[in-house]
Amino acid sequence: MNASIPDQISKDLKDGILAGLTRRVRQDDTLLLAIRGKSIDVYYRGGRILHLTPQSGQSYKVSFDENYSKSKKLDLPESPISTIEHCEDWLRFLPTLKETMNFHFAGNRKSEREFQQLVAWENNRSAIANDTEYFITDVEFADVEQGTRLDMLGLKWLSKDRKFNDRCRPVFIEMKYGINAYDGDSGIKGHIKHLQAILGDEDKKQKLNELIASQFNQLVDLELVKFNPNATIRQAMANGDRATFGTAGKPEVVMLLANHNPRSERLLSILQTIEDPVEFDLRFFNASFAGYGMHEACMLRLDQFIGLLKTWGKELNSTPPPV
């Protein structure tokens, strides 16, 4: 796990041979850019549309997942990106790659991943992004060496703390789409157990914290986050004093359960067998009316969330008074 972002990648994305890619992502709300140490990924509808890895001689190897195209022949550029023109060649193919992925997703739905990207867009770049208190720095994060797989990485920066650059807090978000995703090894209990192992390891936790802070600061630099810090923080960030976690305490893990069926009792039965973890603060996202804009006030503790589900159950099962 490389927790830092190489300076050359940062420079190339900001004003070098990859600046055109950054501009395109900035102008296209259907794309999401994620920077992971020595690689760059661009997502579309939750699927990776481009993967860039640096090569010697200041160039980047570019790949598109052929599982999306299957037998369809795509005449993609053969050369790596080593000039601005090479980058433009790849950008011209984006509409073709999007269409290819649209056809694939029509028969192979990945709703959970698609909604992960929507969560990132709403909190990072939508019209209300600056009002939210959570920022998403990565989706579908995986580190084979560390045995780490996480739906979303991010940080929490409360509105009241925006004048302090060291009051951010690392956040790990697991998304479940529909009630059939609650059970099994990759269900709610499985994710909590996995995160307990990761965040209970001080070395792994520290590396993830460094990665998240680095990703967020880079996204701010590239203007891929609608973030309006006050004058003090803006000057501090310009001087290189970036957002850090300081003494923010334990990380926060958010369970984001999309499109839950309130008539189902499955979720309540699962949650009643879970004990609050000591390695992190477990929260359940309860949307502010509708949408995915995330605020501290929307995050319920385990006991609060169980109480909410029980209230729903009583109301749904109660006999209506005679008319």
Pairwise CA distance, residues 224 & 31, whole Å: 11
What is the DSSP secondary structure assignment for residue 81, as one 8-state letter?
Answer: B
For 223-301, strand residue ranges (E) read 252-258, 281-285, 299-300
Half-sphere exposure of 317 (CA within 13 A, CB side): 9
- Tens of pLDDT along the chain (323 residues) come to 444 557 889 999 999 999 999 999 999 999 999 998 789 999 999 999 999 999 987 899 999 998 898 867 888 998 899 999 999 999 999 999 999 999 999 999 888 999 999 999 999 999 999 899 999 999 999 887 777 889 999 999 998 888 777 888 999 999 999 999 999 888 999 999 999 999 999 999 988 998 998 899 889 889 999 876 655 556 555 555 566 666 556 899 999 999 999 989 999 999 999 999 999 999 999 998 999 999 999 999 999 999 999 998 777 776 555 55
* Reduced DSSP (H G I as helix, E B as strand, rest coil) percent helix, strand, coil of the chain, to 5: 40, 20, 40
Q: Which of these CATH numbers, 1.10.3470, 3.30.920, 3.90.1640, 3.30.1360, describes 7-107? A: 3.30.920
CB 256 within 8 A of CB 191: no
Pairwise CA distance, residues 112 & 94, whole Å: 23
* pTM for the full predicted model: 0.89
Tokens 């549309």 belong to which residue? 49
Q: Where are the domains of the chain?
A: 7-107, 111-317
Q: How big is the chain by its Cα radius of gyration, in Å?
A: 21
Pairwise CA distance, residues 119 & 134, whole Å: 10
